[in-house]
Amino acid sequence: QLKAFPEGFLWGASTSAYQVEGAYKEDGKGLSVQDLHEPKDIADFKVASDHYHHMKEDVKLMAEMGMKAYRFSIAWTRILPDGDGEVNEKGIQFYNELIDELVSYGIEPVVTMYHFDLPLKLHEKGGWCSRNTIDAFVKYAKILFETYGDRVKYWLTINEQNVMINHPNAMNPGRIPTKKELYQQCHNMFVAAAKATILCHEMVSNGKIGPAPNITAIYPEKCNPADVIAADNWESIRCWLYLDVAVHGRYNSIAWVYMEEKGYTPVIEDGDMEIIAKAKPDFIGVNYYATATVSEARNDGTDCQPRNGDQQVMIGEEGVYRAAKNNYLEETQFGWLIDSIGMRVTLRRIYDRYHLPMLITENGLGAKDKLTEDGCVHDPYRIDYLKRHFHQAQLAISDGVELIGYCPWSFIDLVSTHQGYGKRYGFVYVNRDEKDLKNMARIKKDSFYWYQEVIKNNGLS
């Protein structure tokens, strides 16, 4: 029997600082690793959607759409321009104003502490490979809890730690770290997130904090047991590794054996695992876009095959798994798979493994939206996509999964990591293209009005 969305369900939407704010070196902000990107054919992050200067207008639109929650990230470099040095009061003030504005409309702020934008100064000193970055993160976390903890109840430590490890290019300007270094970065992030989790519980009364990895069920291509094992292994390495450490306080054996065999095991210092085990997340943020399908590896030098723009790590790894085509699924204009039922599968698997409430922190459709002559943006494909996913979320709730909210990606158009403004996700259109900033006007898409109705009815009617 289909259960209703619970009362107080956090219908919301998401963004991240570097993809939406712009003002990349204004008011004392330091540079992050993202500010070094000078992509040739897409917009850079210097101006983005200029949310920094349109903040009040944007929050007003959130309120008009009826949003109950807004998931955004704080730019570490606005608060601590060097990552761990002086505090920048103007940066503190920007988020004070944003949070006050949200609260004044009754919108629950959901804050990601770190979303891909490591301060450049920390990167230059070794980034996440260095234990100093753990201390810097803890210092930053203290400032956030102290300053905003009176109004922010929901915190997310690190966005998509697994994507940062599996797709390191965008986070590591210059030399791409080796896999061994990446797993060391990963371990250091676990320690940093654990320390922040413990601090949040000490400093924020009624504070709730959790990780926000990109989790997706992995399907075997065929019922051939060797494919099932490959899918199982890859799910443990790509997904469970991150939640097992964050929630259960331990590395799972499949991922650990994989790291040992490949020579990737990180250095774990005395006391790390105790801290990690002590930190207990209150909920799990789930970024879900699509499932992945794999087959047994052939181990003949052809298992790893890069696939165009698809973030689902469908590249294969020699001797571990091989990416396979799933003939049952449609694709978006950008070749990302669409699998709404897969979201139900994923939510059920997470819930059964961790028994924690979940908040969908990202899910959405990137498309080539166009402003038409009537001044509208017609995006029926986005409505259809979200309708199907909301329905599956409701089925997951009916299965007993504790889902507390749903924040699609993204509230407003922002810079897509690979396709700039050629690929848009928002409910609100931003009138700019790749290079010309035009007037940056905000235009409500058809999906804006549709989502407004969904929120009003607390679900699909």
Sites of contact with ligand BGP (CB under 6 A): 16, 19, 159-160, 163, 214, 287, 311, 362, 366, 409, 416-418, 423
Find all residues with CB under 8 Å of 93, minimum gap 6, and list them.
none
In this structure, the dihedral spanned by the alpha carbons of residues 59, 114, 405 and 247, taken in order and rounded to 10 degrees, is -160
For the bound state, the minimum distance from the C-beta of residue 364 to ligand BGP, rounded and expressed in Å, comes to 8
**How near is the Cβ of 319 to ligand BGP at its closest, in Å?**
26
Phi, psi of 211 (to 5 degrees): -85, 170
Q: In this structure, what DSSP letter does residue 68 have? A: S
| DSSP type of residue 8 | T
For residue 420, the 8-state DSSP code is: B
Q: Nearer to ligand BGP by C-beta: 77 or 214? A: 214
Nearer to ligand BGP by Cβ, of 159 and 197: the residue is 159
Whole-number minimum distance, CB 163 to ligand BGP, in Å?
A: 5
Smallest separation (angstroms) from ligand BGP to the CB of 159 = 5
Q: What is the DSSP letter of 29?
A: P
277: left (phi over 0), alpha (psi -120 to 50) or beta: alpha
Rounded Cα distance between 16 and 431, Å, is 19
Catalytic choice (260, 362, 373, 402)? 362
Residue 51 or 201: the one with the smaller Cβ distance to ligand BGP is 51
Q: Which residue is closest to ligand BGP by CB?
A: 416
362 is catalytic: yes
Return the C-alpha torsion angle 219, 238, 412, 49, nearest 10.
-140
User: What is the closest distance, in whole angstroms, from the C-beta atom of residue 310 to ligand BGP in the complex?
Assistant: 9
Of 141, 123, 22, residue with least CA distance to 76: 141
Which residue, 147 or 417, is less far from ligand BGP as judged by CB?
417
Using DSSP's 3-state secondary structure scheme, residue 425 falls into: coil
Instruction: Please say which residue, 53 or 167, places its beta carbon nearer to ligand BGP.
Output: 167
DSSP-derived 3-state class of residue 158: strand
Looking at the annotation, which residues are catalytic? Answer: 362
